[in-house]
Structure 1
Amino acid sequence: MSAPLAGLRVLDMGWVMVGPVSGRYLADLGADVVKLESARRVDPLRTLGPFKDGKPGLERSISYHNLNAGKRSITVDLKDPRGREAILRLVDWADVVIESFSPGVLETLQLDYPRLAARNPRIIMVSTSLLGQTGPHARGTAGVGTMGAAMSGASLLLGWPGHAPCGTYGPWTDSVAPRFIVPSVLAALHRRRSTGEGCHIDVAQAEAGIQFLSPAWYQYAANGTVPQRRGHAGSPLKAPEGIFRCAGQDRWIAIDASAGGAWRRFRTTVGGGLLDGAFDTLIGRLRGREALERMIGQWTAPQDAAAVEQLLQAAGVPAHVVSSASDLAADPDLTEGHYRRIDDPVVGEAVIEGPRFRLARTPTCETRRGPRIGEHTQAVLRDICGYDDAAIAAMQEAGILR
């Protein structure tokens, strides 16, 4: 049985994270994804670590392999008319085009959606940028995912009252936006089966981030209240819910025992001051939150985090160790299927993530390494674009394939 998207052809003109992650999802589902790169203006992801064995190099980034696993890579100069023609031939071949250029760049290159659709009416094109393709600030606004987190409002909410916002870990919207892009592509493919028509999908990364912050926005929309940094994990309307220190260096447990049944089981398990009648109701627990959390912290502090998790889970109380990277590396559920080993000619053996899903009736593809810069240029130009060896050699000599 073939993979779900076997036969789907994707031209990935994205770089760094949002576009490549979206292409990676489609590759995991069986699509043939050709990634456009440049040896002159290298994808910044290739310069970001971690690097295998701590040795930097454009072909040694494990992050690049993780986000571009299973793709083919070509290098073509889009500014040269002959390079542009090669890309147009790929557009003729493709079902989906993903691009993350700044708004207006593809128009300058004459590779914008109206021109591509005139050539291939079935093409589905995804454009993704910080603020989308339209609006008063869409063009001319520079930035990366950390700016997207700030624009969406996420950065302001993380930290402690009276201190500067600490922001999200890394370029947050770079991880959020692909979760909107891929379902949109699948919906467009479904529509195309009945209409025969492609479409243009415009995904604003900051707006995708706002979707994950809807409760904060609703507070302002409904009551004019601007949510503030609390320096506290969990909801202000739930107790107990939070993160508590355990024994060992930087070891913590996350607990949510606010709901009635979970609270009864939790207080029975912990005992002591939690049995006080003042904590029988949620209102009582909210009013006494400080004392309640202090007692819980005193109970968890001398104990091993994993042991607390096992004890509470056995009692039916939601709880989990706050995982470190070493915890995730040893997690039996993840090692059983999430992590995959690749073998690369440059870095040797390495571990990256496999597909983030399992399908009951159709297989996912074997996880392959990411491509080297321009590794498949000649094969793609010959087999897909229809160039003969002499034409490819001429383009190479002219510096177009770099």
Structure 2
Amino acid sequence: MDASDQGADGQKALARPLAGVRVLAVENFLAGPFASMWLADAGAEVVKVEAPDGGDFARSNSPVRAGDDGVAHGLSFLRSNRNKKSITLDLKHPQGKLIFKELASEADVLIENLRPGVMDRLGIGWEAMQLVNPRLVYVAVSGFGHHDVLPSPYSDRPAFDILGQALSGLMYRPERQDDRPTYLGFSLADIEAGIQAAYGTMLALFQRHATGKGSKVDISLYDACLVLNEISIAMYSVFRTPAKPGLHAVAAPFGSYKASDGYIVIAVLGDRIWERFCQAIGREDLLQDERFSSGVSRQQHVDALGAQIEPWLSARTRAQAVDELLEHGIPASMVNDIADVLACPHAAARNMLMTLQDPVWGTVEIAGNPIKMSGVAEIAAGHPPKLGQHTDEVLRSWLKTGDEQIAELRTGRVI
């Protein structure tokens, strides 16, 4: 979009915040791709560097469908690769490494989420990149971080999203029927690490503006999840008692509750909201009950509290209960499943659902970008690139490579 586009508030749109920033991405699956996608959404030119023999593993990860070309197309690739360019480059080939370094010399940011040490063994890690381009911001996402920034005894372990959830204690947080820890069912560690990597990129670019030098940003999946469990850490450090699964550590009622036709969420945090809640359900007598005198005590007697709330809820539908609670200023909502999200007026109004028309998968809804800015137009859902789609374009525009040389690189299987 250009400066003539209109922003959400009707004002003339500004250039996207990262217009002119060049990003190289050596990435697979989700954490790295999410980070670079959000930079692309912000206007950066993101060039995804992929191996010629298949590219990002998400391209072939199940579920897949075969296209007209007979190649398997993974649905997951559509989730985190919009608005990028793709080039193919053999990073194990000497000439491929040389081209990569030339590209890095023209880049502002390099994002990678390979196992720690892989980029170093290829000769294109942080130390090598500093020599090539001292202004380059190098962003690394891994399971447990990189030794050269802040070493961990786990740094060399392989990791996927679920390990971050497990080690951080988050798998003990959801409500469950027995003592078995619960996987949260989505890629929380990958997505949160991607958010932190994008944030770290912004900090490093800001620092570079002041110092003229790039820096290495080191993001760990474990760290990304640990910070999300911060309230449990603080409470346990003082009381030495784990929070009950599925319950807020210092508040009640705070969770899902059943009305006559399904579940709603009620979020009572603090004494003033507790007073309004008791008024809303016609039970101001509960304000005198010592068991419910504070958020912590209500949480400790959550079953007894639930028994007091249940008659009010069972006499109302979800919509009725939510409306009455909202009238009293109580944070409450229905509990949406994904079909409800796709039909939600808020999600539509905030452009939080994007539609891709994919030649293999057809119409696919993906999550939009949550960063909204005045005067900056909403992004379009640019289709994720085909493998190597922009190789020639990037080599010409970044490195001024001629057609004859590009043909030679292709013949030599470097690209």
- TM-score (normalised: structure 2): 0.86
1:261 to 253, 264, 272: 272
Mean CA deviation greater in 367-376 or 132-141: 132-141
Check whether the contact 2:275–2:287 (CA below 8 A) recurs between aligned residues. Answer: no
Query: d(CA) in 2 for partners of 1:221 and 1:276?
Result: 30
Residues 1:390 and 2:404 aligned together: yes
Q: Does 1:308 align with 2:324?
A: no
Of 96, 100, 106 in structure 1, the residue corresponding to residue 113 of structure 2 is: 100
Corresponding letter in the other structure for 1:257: V
Is the CA contact 2:275–2:284 (under 8 Å) kept in the aligned structure 1?
no
For residues 325-368 of structure 1, what are the alpha-carbon distances to aligned partners after superposition, in whole Å with 9 as ceiling and x for unaligned? 01111111111222222334444443323321211133343231
What SS is found at the alignment partner of 1:391?
A: helix
Helix, strand or coil at the partner of 2:399: coil
Structure 1 portions without partners, runs of 5+: none
The answer to whether the 8 Å contact 1:79/1:109 transfers is yes
TM-score (norm: length of structure 1): 0.89
1:179 to 175, 192, 195: 195
Map 1:2-401; keep pairs closer than 5 Å: 2-48=15-61, 60-134=73-147, 135-160=151-176, 163-222=179-238, 225=240, 227=242, 230-235=244-249, 237-248=250-261, 251-271=262-282, 277-278=288-289, 281-282=293-294, 285=298, 288-336=301-349, 337-401=351-415
State the distance in 2 between where 1:364 and 1:122 align. 30
For residue 110 of structure 1, report the CA deviation from its aligned partner: 0.3
Report how far residue 60 of structure 1 moved: 4.5
CA contact (8 A) 1:3 1:364 kept: no
Q: Distance in 2 between matches of 1:352 and 1:123?
A: 31
1-side partners of 2:328 and 2:28: how far apart? Answer: 47
Are 2:175 and 2:247, in contact at CA under 8 Å, matched by a contact in 1? no
Q: Would the aligned equivalents of 1:245 and 1:253 in 2 still touch at CA under 8 Å?
A: yes
Deviation at 1:199, TM superposition (A): 1.0
**Alpha-carbon contact 1:257-1:317 (below 8 Å) kept:** yes
SS in 2 for 1:167: coil
SS in 1 for 2:232: helix
Deviation at 1:61, TM superposition (A): 4.0
Deviation of 1:84 after TM superposition, in Å, equals 1.2
Gaps in structure 2 of 5+ consecutive residues: 1-13
Deviation at 1:261, TM superposition (A): 2.6
Find the residue that maps to 1:384 and give its secondary structure: helix
SS at match of 2:139: strand
Contact 1:103 1:138 in 2 (8 A): no
1:2-49 CA-partner distances (Å, limit 9, x unpaired): 111110110011211111111111111111101112353542323446
Q: How much has 1:220 moved relative to structure 2?
A: 4.5
Distance 1:400 1:129, change over 3 A: same
Aligned length: 395
CA distance in 1, matches of 2:310, 2:71: 46
